[in-house]
């Protein structure tokens, strides 16, 4: 059983109120909660699954941190992507151990941390961002999750194109993706997929027109809705509020220019 030490991330959950915190353990630090104060020193040397009490005597359980919780809580200076979308993107773009992926923009690195988590030690994420301060923040966030070495953070405007070719997947989260479809086409391997997030329906229309012009095929548009429930077995019902809207996801595949006819003759 792993013993918690200085610098480890740990997820705190209150059985009483359901309150949660994701903290990085630091000797001498404390976590304030509405149920009292938790000293990091009281957590050191315990293991996930154990619990501690606040100075007011309320219990908090220690749980393994998940990429789900980490990615939605990253320190942010930009809009970020949320697990309801990032989980679907991984499947739609077929991202897994060993994949090479391009994303733009890096922003605060929420999606970057998810991509880097799933490509594993043999994969690579090339993350493009034109604002150096965002790229730095994203790198810090990815460091915290321990995956920064799987990412090449590039401070560059993608107007001039991507440096890589034949990548397995490419994702655009920029305000004007319609303008970069040609650049995406050039970097992506034929038969592989591009994903795009846009917040409004008129942008979806613009992107669809662009994808058709650029020879992308198998185009799909989806919107992911996630409805959490109040966990009471006697009165099970949805939460009163939910994330109403993040964006529309568009996926498309790159068609190569090669085409082989079947070679069969109809006898004419």
Ligand X SMILES: C[S@@+](CC[C@H](N)C(=O)[O-])C[C@H]1O[C@@H](n2cnc3c(N)ncnc32)[C@H](O)[C@@H]1O
Q: Which residues bind ligand X (CB under 6 A)?
A: 78-81, 104-105, 107-111, 128-131, 134, 157-159, 173-175
Would you say 102 or 174 has its CB closer to ligand X?
174
CB of 196 vs ligand X, minimal distance in Å: 11
- Tally of CB atoms within 10 A around 59: 13
Q: How far is the CB of 219 from ligand X (least distance, A)?
A: 21
Beta-strand (E) ranges in the chain?
Answer: 9-13, 20-24, 30-33, 36-39, 51-53, 59-63, 100-104, 124-129, 151-155, 167-172, 188-198, 216-222, 229-230, 237-238, 248-254
Cα dihedral 102/103/108/111 (nearest 10)? -90
Q: Which of 149, 68, 152 is nearest to 110 (CA)?
A: 68
Q: How far is CA 45 from CA 18, 21, 213, in A?
A: 24, 19, 59
Residue burial 225-250, b: 16+ Cβ < 10 Å; e: rest: eeeeeeeeeeeeeeeeeeeeebbbbb
Closest to 164 in 3D by CA, of 191, 183, 182, 149: 183
Tell me how far, at minimum, the Cβ of 124 lies from ligand X, in Å: 17
Cα 248 to Cα 70: distance, rounded to the nearest angstrom: 23
Q: How far is the CB of 59 from ligand X (least distance, A)?
A: 34
- Give min distance, CB of 18 to ligand X, in A: 26
Closer residue to ligand X (CB): 54 or 107: 107
**What's the min distance (Å) between Cβ of 33 and ligand X?**
27
CB of 65 to ligand X, least distance (A): 18
Closest CB to ligand X among 14 and 100?
A: 100
Q: Which residue is nearest to ligand X (CB)?
A: 105
Q: How far apart are the first and last CA of the chain?
A: 74
Nearer to ligand X by C-beta: 133 or 209? 133
Q: Give 42 or 130: the residue with its C-beta nearer to ligand X.
A: 130
Choice between 62 and 103, CB closer to ligand X: 103
Min separation Cβ 142 and ligand X, Å:
11
- Looking at the Cβ atoms of 14 and 83, the one nearer to ligand X is 83
Residues 249 and 256: their CA atoms lie apart, in Å, by: 23
Question: Could you tell me if 172 and 196 are in contact, meaning their C-beta atoms sit under 8 angstroms apart?
Answer: yes
The nearer residue to ligand X, 80 or 204, going by C-beta atoms, is 80
- Cα 191 to chain centroid, rounded: 23
């Amino acid at each position: 059983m792993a013993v918690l030490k200085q610098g480890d991330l740990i997820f705190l959950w209150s059985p009483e109120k359901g309150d949660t915190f994701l903290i990085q353990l630091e000797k001498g630090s404390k976590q304030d909660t509405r149920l009292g104060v938790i000293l990091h020193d009281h957590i050191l040397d315990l293991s996930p699954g154990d619990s501690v009490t606040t100075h007011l005597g309320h219990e908090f359980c220690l749980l393994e941190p998940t990429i789900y919780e980490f990615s939605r809580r990253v320190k942010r200076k930009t809009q970020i992507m949320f697990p309801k979308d990032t989980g679907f993107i991984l499947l739609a773009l077929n991202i897994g151990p060993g994949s090479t992926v391009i994303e733009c923009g890096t922003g605060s690195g929420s999606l970057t941390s998810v991509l880097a988590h799933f490509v594993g030690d043999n994969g690579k994420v090339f993350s493009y961002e034109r604002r150096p301060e965002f790229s730095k923040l994203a790198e810090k966030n990815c460091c915290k999750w321990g995956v920064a070495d799987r990412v090449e953070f590039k401070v560059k405007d993608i107007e001039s194109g991507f440096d890589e070719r034949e990548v397995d997947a490419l994702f655009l989260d920029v305000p004007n993706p319609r303008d970069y479809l040609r650049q995406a086409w050039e970097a992506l391997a034929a038969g592989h997929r591009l994903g795009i997030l846009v917040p409004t329906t008129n942008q979806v229309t613009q992107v669809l027109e662009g994808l058709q012009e650029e020879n992308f095929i198998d185009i799909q548009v989806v919107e992911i809705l996630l409805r959490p429930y109040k966990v009471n077995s006697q009165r099970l019902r949805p939460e009163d509020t939910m994330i109403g809207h993040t964006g529309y996801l568009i996926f498309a595949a790159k068609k190569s220019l090669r085409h082989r006819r079947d070679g069969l003759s109809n006898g004419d």
